[in-house]
């Protein structure tokens, strides 16, 4: 399932923006159709709905009040679950357009972890470049740096394992979504993806960077296969 609204302040028209010849919407729908016989796109935008149907997806008309800058994502999930009557035994998979470098292997891995575990929801996560328990400080009112946490590590080896959440994939079920206030209020388990795969598109710079990474990676793979 793909959730994409028409508005975006950081990158206008984001969901239909093209990255190396393919729109962000097309990339998510393609993975959705590879995963199941039907891929649903929830949107408030007529333009996105039209493009989604051309790509072979089915459209869920999302109410405008669920497509504002302040609308929690889980409310759109709830709306889709109610619309499609997704229940406790149905697997719910969300593939946001903002993670265009996701691999299909990661989607399958997340579905496998959800199926084999007792998690309420499975997401993707990546190791942070900077561990907040090791080198993060806040600037106090008098200009003095203070540790961000009461207990800070001196050595990297002693630091707590800290991960960042990625928008690569979310796997859950209708019952959990309908009774939860936030996606992460239950038992959450992650698959680990690379920092490159986890790149999230919010700005023009993110789009340019993702395009360069994809081209560079493709060139590297091609050269090794020669």
CA quadruple 210, 211, 212, 215: dihedral positive or negative? positive
* Beta-carbon contacts of residue 62 (< 8 Å; ≥ 6 apart): 3, 5, 42, 43, 44, 76, 79
Q: pLDDT tens for the chain, 226 residues: list them.
A: 999 998 777 788 999 999 999 999 999 999 999 999 999 999 999 999 999 999 999 999 999 899 888 889 999 999 999 999 998 899 999 999 999 999 999 999 999 999 999 999 999 999 887 777 777 788 888 888 887 776 666 565 566 778 999 999 999 999 999 999 999 999 999 999 999 999 999 999 999 999 999 998 765 544 445 4
Q: pLDDT value at position 224?
A: 46
Half-sphere exposure of 93 (CA within 13 A, CB side): 26
In whole angstroms, what is the distance from residue 174 CA to residue 73 CA?
14
What the chain holds in terms of domains, given with CATH numbers, is 2-225 (3.90.550.10)
Residue with tokens 């009112």: 141
Q: How many other C-beta atoms lie within 10 A of the C-beta of residue 53?
A: 12
């Amino acid at each position: 399932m793909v959730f994409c609204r028409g508005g975006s302040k950081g990158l206008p028209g984001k969901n239909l923006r093209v990255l190396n010849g393919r729109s962000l919407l097309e990339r998510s729908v393609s993975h959705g159709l590879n995963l199941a016989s039907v891929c649903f796109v929830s949107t408030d935008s007529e333009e996105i709905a039209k493009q989604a149907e051309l790509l072979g997806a089915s459209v869920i008309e999302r109410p405008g009040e669920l497509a504002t800058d302040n609308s929690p994502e889980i409310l759109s999930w709830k709306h889709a679950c109610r619309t499609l009557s997704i229940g406790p035994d149905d697997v719910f998979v969300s593939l946001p357009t903002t993670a265009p470098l996701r691999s299909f292997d990661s989607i399958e891995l997340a579905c496998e972890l959800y199926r084999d575990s007792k998690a309420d929801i499975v997401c993707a996560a990546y190791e942070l470049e900077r561990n907040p328990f090791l080198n993060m400080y806040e600037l106090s009112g008098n200009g003095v740096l203070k540790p961000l946490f009461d207990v800070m590590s001196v050595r990297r080896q002693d630091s707590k394992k800290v991960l960042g959440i990625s928008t690569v994939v979310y796997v859950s079920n209708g019952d959990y979504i309908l009774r939860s206030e936030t996606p992460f209020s239950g038992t959450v388990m992650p698959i680990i993806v690379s920092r490159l795969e986890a790149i999230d598109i919010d700005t023009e710079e993110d789009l340019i960077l993702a395009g360069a990474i994809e081209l560079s990676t493709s060139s590297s793979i091609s050269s090794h296969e020669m």
